[in-house]
Amino acid sequence: MPTKVKTSGVDNTPVLSEQSWQQQLSASISSIAALCAYLEVALEELPASVAALHDFPLRVPLSFAKQIEKGNPNDPLLRQILPVSEELLNVAEYTDDPVGDLSAAKVTGVIHKYHGRVLLINTGTCAIHCRYCFRRHFPYSDLQLSKQQEAAALMYIAEDSSINEVILSGGDPLLLSDARLAKLLTALASIPHIKRIRIHTRLPIVLPARITAELLAILQACSAIVCVVTHCNHANELSAEVVTACRQLQQHGLIVFNQAVLLKGINDDVAVLSTLSEQLFAAGIIPYYLHLLDKTRGTAHFNVDESRAVQLFTALQNSLPGYLVPRLVKEIAGAGAKQSIV
């Protein structure tokens, strides 16, 4: 899908025009200096931390960066991707595996926490590095699903008839090539007890060029029900290109949900959350989950305490029709399902 963005006028950042999604991904911003140049701000104007960048690299596609207000150090999209010194603090209860992924890993690439469904870690790569990411310390080199290990993962699923849903996760599963994704979907759909395949992805939001005609054909051709779960935290992420991409998913028979994370200073506001739900629905996306922050090391500065979250949620219920109110949930390691807060 062609997208367009102006250059910054500072560092002659290449425009996005007829570039493929792979080219756009390759051109992502990966340094604080490049980010400052693109946003037309001096380094000292941003609360950036080079040390935090070394702990968890910066990565942001230009298609997302162009939605950030230039010259605004408090922009809610910028705060999601900017490395800051608070990430280096050691805070009690914030760990490297807050949701118990490692203890639920069965064979390589398979996380089996909940009855009836498993999660496949297809890749450790993301198009964007969200600073609140609950898998920022995940040992992908040991546990992501390689081509060679795919057969064992498929066998695990095929041998357990209680599994009726597979969730493709990562990293971001839409960073797989079309060929590999098509092969995986076909293999999963051929298992008799698999009814649904969920694809959890940030790409329609941060790199909408990934939603190509070829990808849409692959998803539409799958014989199992395919749901796409996007991840959007703020309405400013919903550019015209993003809306077009998400509408194309819907028009090709895919059910599209969204899950957001409640983040301090970004979307912990009733008006912001209401606008997000309204604009998601207008784009054909169903508001699905509003997550409390998973307490990952380096993310404490994003946390909204539970009592405040309940206040916000109650106000959201009072301002929106029920179908626009996402479920407020948190994940507890070892629990049998995500826990509803109210």
**pLDDT value for 16:** 60
**pLDDT value for 124:** 87
The answer to whether the pTM exceeds 0.85 is: yes
User: Mind spelling out the 3-state secondary structure of the chain?
Assistant: CCCCCCCCCCCCCCCCCCCCHHHHHHCCECCHHHHHHHHCCCHHHCCCCHHHHHHCCCCECHHHHCCCCCCCCCCCCHHHHCCCHHHHCCCCCCECCCCCCHHHECCCCEECCCCCEEEEECCCCCCCCCCCCCCCCCCHHHHCCCCCCHHHHHHHHHCCCCCCEEEEECCCHHHCCHHHHHHHHHHHHCCCCCCEEEEECCHHHHCHHHCCHHHHHHHHHCCCEEEEEEECCCHHHCCHHHHHHHHHHHHCCCEEEEEEECCCCCCCCHHHHHHHHHHHHHCCCEEEEEECCCCECCCHHHCCCHHHHHHHHHHHHHHCCHHHCCEEEECCCCCCCCEECC
**pLDDT value for 12:** 43
Q: Residues in the chain with pLDDT < 50?
A: 1-14
Beta bridge partners of 228: 199, 256
Q: How far is CA 322 from CA 271, 289, 313, 314, 327, in A?
A: 16, 13, 12, 11, 10
* Per-residue pLDDT tens over the stretch 177-204: 999 999 999 999 999 999 999 999 999 9
* Per-residue pLDDT tens over the stretch 17-53: 579 999 999 999 999 999 999 999 999 999 999 999 9
Neighbours of 221 (CB within 10 A): 13
Domains and CATH numbers, the chain: 21-88 (no CATH), 102-340 (3.20.20.70)
